[in-house]
Amino acid sequence: MKLRIGIPKGSLQESTIALFRKAGYHINVNRRSYYPTIDDYQMEAMLIRAQEMPIYVENGVLDVGLTGRDWILEQNADVHEVVELVYGKEGLAPVKWVLAVPNESQISKIEDLEGKRISTELVNYTKKYLRKAGVKAEVLFSWGATEIKAPTLADAIVELTETGSTLRANNLRIVETLMESTTRLIANRKAWEDNWKREKIENLACLLQGSLRAEEKVGLKMNIVQKNLGRITALLPAMHTPTISPLMDKEWVAVEVIIDEKVVRDLIPELKRVGATGIVEYPLSKVIP
């Protein structure tokens, strides 16, 4: 028996393969093939666009796959959402689908779209959003390069963005955010009911989550004189509590902790000032609570 897994082809492909590598799964992609190899003989992988992933998982072509919450909603797919994995092409944050218009446009709110043309790849969700707002507009499917459609081919666009830089580069401004989306590990409902496949999927989810938790954290260890221990522990924003171990010199102890990487540059000088020595920062592969 094998677990058939869908890897998103396109913008999420490289970050997904990197995440799997950190989780312990090595995926090799042949540029001429849609069937990458994975170093787990109980898995077989296939490259599928994230937009299509929910349908292939729903109908059982794939047991499990990674796609955005946006595409699950767009396809109205009946799948089991195993876990949320907050990562994207450019960082560890949700992406946004936004309504954008040219800077010189008179459109300033959703109601101003009445009778207008909107270009987007997210057609079904956009239509639903407009109906809820009581706005009648023509929603056109975009086959790509959506940013260039306004104002010549459409009055507005609904487009995915992480930083907004591409929109700004194309002389566009955001009017409204339609939704935020994150990557999800999804499973076929029948596969989820299979005990062997479910355990395999849960193991995968655990390792992927652990790898993501480790992305923004580092390990920190140091030595400190016992009498200064309280001053050190007061500075450490540990996940739980620091690990404190005795050394051969009974007046000294070793302290080890996992912390957010963003605080390290300010924290290390403070630790040094209160007597920490032998300070070592090291990267993490996984953090499993």
State mean pLDDT over 8-32.
Answer: 90
Question: Poorest-confidence range of 28-42, 120-134, 183-197?
Answer: 28-42
Given a cut of 90, whether residue 87 has pLDDT beyond it is: no
Q: 3-92+183-214 and 95-181 share one CATH topology?
A: yes
Domain at 217-283, CATH class: alpha beta
Burial class of 136 by CB neighbour count within 10 A (0 to 12, 13 to 18, 19+): exposed
* Mean pLDDT of the 164-174 span: 89
Angle at CA of residue 15, ends 9 and 20, nearest 5°: 95
Residues in the chain: 289
Please tell me the class of the 95-181 domain: alpha beta
Evaluate whether 58 touches 77 at the Cβ level (below 8 Å). Answer: yes
Q: Which amino acid is at 30?
A: N
Residue carrying structure tokens 């522990």: 233
pLDDT at 109 over 60: yes
CATH topology of domain 3-92+183-214: D-Maltodextrin-Binding Protein; domain 2 (3.40.190)
Query: Taking all residues of the chain, what is their mean pLDDT, rounded to a whole number?
Result: 92
Nearest to 192 by CA among 205, 183, 202: 202
**How many C-beta neighbours within 10 Å does residue 234 have?**
8
Amino acid at 102: P
pLDDT band at 179 (very low <50, low <70, confident <90, very high): very high
DSSP H or E run through 16: helix 13-23
How far is CA 169 from each of CA 134, 148, 257, rounded to the nearest angstrom? Answer: 31, 11, 43
Please report which confidence band the pLDDT of residue 2 belongs to, taking 50, 70 and 90 as the band edges. Answer: very high
Q: Which of 269, 282, 132 is nearest to 218 (CA)?
A: 282
Report the percentage of the chain scoring pLDDT > 70. 98
- On the question of pLDDT at 37 being above 90, the answer is yes
Domain ranges for the chain:
3-92+183-214, 95-181, 217-283
Kindly report the number of other CB atoms within 10 A of residue 168's CB atom: 14
